[in-house]
Amino acid sequence: MTFVTVLTSVAIGMALLSLGRLVLGPASGLIELACRVLAGMVVLHFALTVLDLAGVSWHPLGLWVLLLTAIAVAVGLALSSGARRPKRGLGGRESIPAVVVTVATVGAFGWSAWTLRSVAPDFVYHWGIKAKRYAIARGVDWDYLSRSWNDFVQPDYPNLFPDLYSLGALLTGRFEEHWPMTVSVVLFAAIVTTTYALLDRIGDMWLQVSGLVLVGCACAAFSIGYFQAGGIDLGLALAGLLGLWLLLPSSGDQGDNRGGLGRKDRALALGFVCAFAAASKIEGVSLAAWLVLAYCVTFRPRLTELVRLGAPLALVVLPWAFELMRRDLFQRSEAAELTAQRLWDVLQAIPQGFAQSSWHGLSWLVILAPALLVSGVVRPIGTVMCLQLTFFLWVYWRSPVEPTFYVLSSWPRLVFQLWPAVVVGLLLAAARSVGAEGTSEELPADLRESPLE
């Protein structure tokens, strides 16, 4: 990685955080920080989409001005409002085990990503190709995507990640794989720190640390062994985790049971998480739909909340759908006949998908997703996870692709999108159940008193 790439990566990272701060306000904890990173990516993607729709090319100078302005405005706002100190991050003696786990797992994945040992095949097959094309064209290269012989790059996939990946090349003048790898490392680090912050709500130190080791090490092992760097599944796994947090009855950071997020803030933050998921990949659109549905059923939002929830999602989905329809880019495939035999073939292939070697058997924990429905606290995210699993099965059943090949080539990574949220949800539910029978006073109020039951 060159010095210029390092500096540019730092500048883009600061700009993303600044853009996230501009739309969601200052962060006061690790989870809020992760939300702002995702929100920053959504805002940047939206800005590039607007330029693209207006026919304005993504000129490097203009992009530098945009990023530096975002940083300057955010710094100005922070100085004028007196930035709040984080309530509690990875600091203090009690956090030492968590810091060790975080450094070890992020370090392991970072090593594999930056040495290009765990680059996702799909990064080469389409995400990276698109990013390079967009950097050369200084905008989304719709002409390239529209030519029928280029349909192997999946022209109908959303563009958030190719946009983001092309940014490094646009700003530095040359495409280096290290910038996309850095994005993946940041997303991975956000998964681990969000897990830490969520488990910090549990009063039991043993469960906190061992739960963090479980999630951090399993995610790192899979991400290295199944080549996730530069891929999109890390982002969707993070979106699922943040969805879990935002659907908890009282979502404050770091076990905050003194108020947490206001309803409007929660709706807006979830709107950006949904927008991020939907702008990342096709299955992210369904994840976003289930998250919105779960939010509406759980919190019965007022109109203003619905607007805050839906606006970010609409701002990224509508332009994307508009361009696809205008250019007739939706990839249509014949639906398979919904026969019992095909369903049986799919169900028979699923255990082989779970047995993928890089999971080391830990993928099976996802089948416990329905258990989340039993606990009122995590029932909303449990519903989301079960609906998404059902959606995956439906796609396998309906698709004309040979079922065993289809399942084996995608199930391990689809499971990864859900795995952290399911496992952290199970840990929270287990802690609550044990606390109810044992020392409930150790649990934060929102884990003891659920308005959902």
Partner 1 sequence: MKRGQTARWLVRAVVIILAGWATVALWLEVERASATLWLPDTPPSLWRFDSPPVQALGSALQAVDQAVPRGSVVVIEANELAPSELFFLMMWCSYYLPRHDVVRPHVGTEGPRYVWSYPEGSLRLARASVRDLATDDGGVVGSPR
Which residue ranges make up the site for partner 1 (CB under 8 A)? 105, 108, 111-112, 115-119, 124-126, 128-129, 132-133, 136, 144, 147, 149-150, 152-153, 175, 177, 204, 206-207, 210-211, 213-218, 220-222, 224-225, 227, 358-362, 365, 427, 430-431, 433-434, 437-439
Nearer to partner 1, 126 or 264 (CB): 126
Nearer to partner 1, 214 or 270 (CB): 214
CB–CB of 398/335 below 8 Å?
yes
Who contacts 154 (Cβ-Cβ below 8 Å, separation ≥6)? Answer: 126, 331
Distance of closest approach, residue 373 Cβ to partner 1, in angstroms: 19
Distance of closest approach, residue 234 Cβ to partner 1, in angstroms: 15
Q: What angle do CA 234, 275, 136 make, to 5 degrees?
A: 75
Report which of 106, 235, 447, 156 is spatially closest to residue 243, judged by C-alpha positions: 235
Distance of closest approach, residue 344 Cβ to partner 1, in angstroms: 26
Report which of 201, 159, 385 is spatially closest to residue 294, judged by C-alpha positions: 385
Rounded Cα distance, 445 and 453, in Å: 14
Dump the DSSP string for 388-414.
HHHHHHHHHHH--S-HHHHHHHHHHHH
Distance of closest approach, residue 89 Cβ to partner 1, in angstroms: 22
Distance of closest approach, residue 384 Cβ to partner 1, in angstroms: 23
- The terminus-to-terminus CA distance of the chain in angstroms comes to 52
How many CA atoms within 13 Å lie on the side-chain side of 145? 28
Nearer to partner 1, 213 or 347 (CB): 213
Which tokens belong to 230? Answer: 């530069």
Distance of closest approach, residue 119 Cβ to partner 1, in angstroms: 5
Nearer to partner 1, 69 or 409 (CB): 409
Distance of closest approach, residue 224 Cβ to partner 1, in angstroms: 5
Nearer to partner 1, 18 or 154 (CB): 154
Rounded Cα distance, 318 and 246, in Å: 24
Rounded Cα distance, 19 and 43, in Å: 7
Nearer to partner 1, 125 or 322 (CB): 125
Nearer to partner 1, 144 or 391 (CB): 144
Rounded Cα distance, 266 and 308, in Å: 9
Count the neighbouring beta carbons within 10 Å of the beta carbon of residue 65. Answer: 11
Distance of closest approach, residue 416 Cβ to partner 1, in angstroms: 13
Who contacts 24 (Cβ-Cβ below 8 Å, separation ≥6)? Answer: 32, 35, 36, 39, 265, 268, 269, 272
Nearer to partner 1, 314 or 434 (CB): 434
Nearer to partner 1, 21 or 201 (CB): 201
Distance of closest approach, residue 432 Cβ to partner 1, in angstroms: 11
Going by the DSSP 8-state scheme, the letter that residue 119 receives in this structure is: B
Going by the DSSP 8-state scheme, the letter that residue 337 receives in this structure is: P
